[in-house]
Amino acid sequence: MVLVLFALTIFSFLLLGSIAFLISALLPWTRRYALSTALWLAVWGPCVVVLMLVAGLGVVTGALVMRAGGAFAVDAPRLVSAVGWTYLIAGSLVIAGVATAIAWFHQKLIHRFTLALFRLYSAAVSAGIGSVLGWCLGWWIATKGASAHGSLWWVSGMIVLMAGFGIVAYVGARGLRGNAPTRFTWITPEEFAGNGKR
């Protein structure tokens, strides 16, 4: 049950990242940040799972201390309540900081890819985003009382979504980033632009 909870937590943030990617990619002024926005939200999933694991370990440790008759059992409910909110707020701030640092580094790194490499990268990531939406499609089909052909519809939809997202990202890779970097770069503006090739 706990593993299912962890999997659903991670998937929920992947789904949020996929939706954020779609919204960012549709708006011209945020398009260049679409991949990093999706990553920012996706990083939250594993980090929240770690936060839950540490909290669970703390609860088990606290129960063992109280069971042993430790002095900490006196005001335990009030203490747990106070530490709980502090832990949640501090954990959220740490996760936001970690996710922001990773997304910032990611944005700087992919901005220094050649166009050919960036096209492959954006196509692979976008196909992954298509697969997340494909899993949602599968669950939707399952909730509708899938017929004998439900699995076939789901697999077909998954393939179409993954291929469609990947192809659109590959073709529209130029729009997913802005101008060529001018500092701390290892590629030329020509390599960034793909030498004028489409």
Residues 90 and 158 in one domain: no
**pLDDT of res. 190:** 77
Residues 102 and 118 in one domain: no
Residues 55 and 134 in one domain: no
Handedness of CA 72, 74, 80, 82 (dihedral sign): negative
Residues 79 and 141 in one domain: no
How many domains is the chain built from?
A: 2
**pLDDT of res. 142:** 80
Q: Decide: 133 and 161 in contact? Cβ < 8 Å.
A: yes
Distance of CA 18 to the CA centre of its chain: 7
User: Which range marks the domain in which residue 190 is found?
Assistant: 114-198
- DSSP H helical ranges for 27-75: 34-67
Last residue in a domain, options 110, 125, 154: 110
- How many CA atoms within 13 Å lie on the side-chain side of 110? 24
Residues 101 and 21 in one domain: yes
CA distance 61 to 51: 15
Residues 100 and 145 in one domain: no
Last residue in a domain, options 82, 110, 138: 110
Residues 87 and 152 in one domain: no
Q: What is the pLDDT along the chain (198 residues), one digit of tens a residue?
A: 788 999 999 999 999 999 999 999 999 899 999 999 999 999 999 999 999 888 888 777 766 766 665 555 445 555 456 557 788 899 999 999 999 999 999 998 988 888 889 999 999 999 999 999 999 988 888 887 766 677 888 889 999 999 999 999 999 888 888 777 777 777 777 788 777 544
Residues 96 and 125 in one domain: no
pTM value is: 0.81
Residues 5 and 53 in one domain: yes
Residues 99 and 10 in one domain: yes
Last residue in a domain, options 89, 110, 131: 110
Q: Which amino acid does the sequence have at 64? A: L
Residues 17 and 97 in one domain: yes
Residues 119 and 44 in one domain: no
Other beta carbons within 10 angstroms of residue 39's beta carbon come to 20
CA distance 128 to 21: 12
